[in-house]
């Protein structure tokens, strides 16, 4: 094992995780601590002090496992859009942490879109009630921003505790606070329209930038040596993307859990007229576009409660392509690869058995994944790089094989896909590049090759595309593009 490690820290919703990773990508130590939340309707809060307590506990645990191993740096990811106000000198939280899915700022989201619509359009997104800027405006309108208070994203608060002072925020977590990723500055005109004081906003740098060092107090609390470098982190989604190895232009990672999330790398900012793809900035200045679908494995839990999934997966592998077509939407509303708040799941044809219905559901997940790639190619995204998959659904050999067959490409399954691992890789990248660090540290556990021709699925795929367009959910130009690719 290498005698040096990098620490990656993941601030999740339910837990904090600290991971020590060698320069070769081996996990040297790991520790986890749970977190608790307070929920009230659309509101979701956590106590920021509990984040630091959990980080300190995990860090002491990890350091005890490492012994005399040298720590060369740390980076922290956090839930995207989680914010608080804090005192810039005492570093105490002045509000609770308003979590990533806190939806109280509906009115404020409309005000933010009115004030900054031109910029958000340029960046290919619209502000949503759970995003950071609307929640910040909610705090201001309800008198929760004391004079002199500073805005902090979730990982900014922990970085401040480590450094003993407030230090720069990263552009990844600042995206949902309205930071202009094109010009790399806060949009002062929008801030002025919203009547927010510009002094509450932090300095912002690209992820991977050195922003501070561990102070004596934090070293005592955590066991991490004094003067250990602190590097600007990213959102949890971007951290998982790094862990998957998707860090070079044209490479993509697709995560199928309850929902489907896709993230990739482009040299230029993608302009999406639908506003369903928005992009972060990488540490090397590249763009990291992505989108989140409401389809995914959540529909399996809903449609097949208590079923023997092992038996259904085995049957799906034996059956091969099914003529029935399922649009696997568990609830109402789709976000990607098209925006359709009224969308609902449907089935074309009548599956003859539970086994066929399950098979058609897996097929439907793969079809939406292919459609997402078609939509990306339609707006000019390169997709010719590596393709990796993550998420709980990778346990399904049947789904993995169907995805490889429908996509007609080799799929890689990374050995580790946790955000903490991604942050260790990001910290290690400061001596070279994120692409080099990823190549050195990320390991592919296995690959899945296509076994069937897409021609066996083409008619069913086109039927799904036709129905989505007929219902007015999928734009006709995207549908035409997808059909043309299917018939090629």
φ/ψ (deg, to 5) at 223: 85, -5
pLDDT category at 486 given cuts 50, 70, 90 is very high
Higher pLDDT, 296 or 249: 249
Across the range 129-134, mean pLDDT stands at 96
Could you give the CA distance from residue 279 to residue 120 in angstroms, rounded to a whole number?
11
Q: What is the pLDDT of residues 444-483, one digit of tens each?
A: 999 999 999 999 999 999 999 999 999 999 999 999 999 9
Token pair listed for 141: 């309108």
Contact yes or no for 124/268 (Cβ under 8 A):
no
Question: Quick one: 433 exposed, middle or buried, by C-beta within 10 A (0-12, 13-18, 19+)?
Answer: middle
Domain residue spans in the chain? Answer: 4-237, 245-487
Other residues' Cβ atoms within 10 Å of the Cβ of residue 189: 12
State residue 2's pLDDT score: 57
Mean per-residue pLDDT, 1-17: 90
CB atoms within 10 A of CB 392: 12
Mean pLDDT value across the chain: 96
**Do residues 326 and 360 make contact, with C-beta atoms less than 8 angstroms apart?**
yes
Burial class (CB in 10 A: 0-12, 13-18, 19+), 409: middle
Calculate mean pLDDT across residues 336-364.
96
- State the number of CA atoms in the 13 A half-sphere of 260 facing the CB: 29
- In this structure, how many other beta carbons lie within 10 angstroms of the beta carbon of residue 472? 11
Instruction: Label residue 301 left, alpha or beta by phi (over 0 means left) and psi (-120 to 50 means alpha).
Output: alpha
Tens digits of residue pLDDT in 272-326: 988 889 999 999 999 999 998 999 888 999 999 999 999 999 999 999 999 999 9
- Mean pLDDT, rounded, for 212-237: 97
Given a cut of 60, whether residue 7 has pLDDT beyond it is yes
Dist. CA 13–CA 15, nearest whole Å: 6
- Burial of 101 (C-beta count, 10 Å sphere; 0-12/13-18/19+): middle
- Using the Cα atoms of residue 126, residue 130, residue 134 and residue 136 in order, give the sign of their dihedral: negative
How many CA atoms lie less than 13 Å away from 351 in the CB half-sphere?
Answer: 19
CATH T-level assignment (fold) for domain 245-487: Nucleotidyltransferase; domain 5 (3.30.420)
The answer to whether 426 and 242 have CB atoms below 8 angstroms apart is: yes
Report which of 457, 456, 474 is spatially closest to residue 465, judged by C-alpha positions: 474
Annotation: CATH topology of 4-237: Nucleotidyltransferase; domain 5 (3.30.420)
156/168 Cα distance (integer angstroms): 8
Q: What pLDDT is attached to residue 1? A: 47
Same CATH topology for 4-237 and 245-487: the answer is yes
pLDDT band, residue 329 (cuts 50/70/90): very high
Q: In the chain, what percentage of residues exceed pLDDT 90?
A: 93
**What single DSSP character describes residue 294?**
S
Report whether pLDDT(258) > 90.
Answer: no
Residue of 395, 393, 401 whose CA lies nearest to 449: 401
Report the pLDDT value the prediction gives residue 8, as an integer from 0 to 100: 98
Q: What is the pLDDT of residues 135-188, one digit of tens each?
A: 999 999 999 999 999 999 999 999 999 999 999 999 999 999 999 999 999 999
Whole-number Å distance between alpha carbons of 148 and 206: 25
Q: What is the pLDDT of residue 297?
A: 86
Residue 184 Rama label (left phi>0; alpha psi -120 to 50; beta)? left
**380, 374 in Cβ contact below 8 A?**
no
């Amino acid at each position: 094992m290498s005698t040096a490690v990098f620490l990656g820290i993941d601030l999740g919703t339910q837990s904090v995780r600290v991971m020590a990773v060698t320069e070769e990508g081996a996990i040297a130590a790991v520790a986890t601590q749970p977190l608790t939340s307070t929920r009230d309707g659309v509101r979701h809060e956590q106590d920021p002090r509990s984040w630091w307590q959990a980080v300190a506990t995990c860090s002491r645990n990890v350091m005890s496992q490492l012994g005399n191993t040298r720590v060369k740096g740390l980076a922290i990811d956090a839930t995207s859009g989680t914010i608080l106000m804090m005192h810039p000198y005492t570093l105490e939280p002045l509000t609770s942490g308003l979590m990533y899915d806190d939806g109280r700022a509906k009115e404020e989201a409309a005000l933010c879109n009115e004030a900054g619509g031109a910029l958000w359009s340029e960046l290919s997104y619209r502000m949503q009630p759970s995003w950071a800027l609307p929640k910040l405006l909610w705090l201001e309108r309800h008198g929760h921003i004391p004079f002199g208070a500073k805005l902090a994203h979730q990982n900014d608060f922990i970085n401040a505790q480590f450094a003993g002072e407030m230090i720069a925020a990263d552009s990844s977590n600042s995206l949902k606070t309205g930071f202009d990723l094109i010009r790399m500055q806060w949009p002062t005109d929008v801030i002025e329209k919203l009547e927010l004081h510009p002094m509450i906003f932090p300095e912002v740098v690209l992820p991977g930038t050195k922003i501070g060092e561990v102070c004596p107090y934090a070293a005592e609390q955590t066991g991490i040596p004094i003067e250990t470098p602190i590097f600007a982190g990213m959102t949890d989604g971007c951290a998982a993307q790094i862990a998957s190895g998707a860090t070079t232009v044209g490479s993509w990672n697709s995560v199928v859990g309850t929902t489907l999330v896709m993230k990739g790398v482009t040299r230029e900012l993608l302009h999406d007229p639908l506003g369903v793809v928005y992009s972060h900035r990488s540490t090397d200045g590249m763009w990291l576009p992505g989108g989140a679908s409401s389809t995914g494995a959540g529909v399996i839990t809903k449609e097949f409660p208590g079923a023997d999934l092992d038996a259904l997966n085995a049957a799906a592998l034996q059956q091969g392509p099914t003529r029935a077509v399922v649009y696997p939407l568990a609830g109402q509303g789709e976000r990607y690869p098209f925006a359709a708040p009224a969308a609902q799941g449907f089935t074309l044809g009548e599956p003859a058995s539970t086994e066929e219905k399950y098979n058609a559901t897996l097929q439907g997940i793969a079809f939406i994944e292919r459609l997402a790639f078609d939509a990306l190619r339609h707006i000019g995204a390169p997709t010719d790089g590596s393709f990796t998959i993550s998420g709980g659904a990778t346990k399904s050999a049947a789904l993995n094989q169907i995805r490889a067959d429908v996509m007609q490409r080799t799929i890689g399954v990374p050995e580790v896909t946790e955000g903490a691992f991604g942050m260790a890789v990001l910290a290690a990248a400061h001596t070279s590049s994120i692409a080099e660090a990823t190549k050195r540290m990320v390991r592919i556990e296995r690959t899945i090759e296509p076994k069937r021709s897409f021609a066996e699925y083409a008619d069913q795929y086109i039927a799904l595309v036709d129905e989505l367009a007929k219902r007015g959910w999928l734009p006709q130009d995207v549908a035409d593009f997808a059909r043309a690719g299917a018939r090629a």
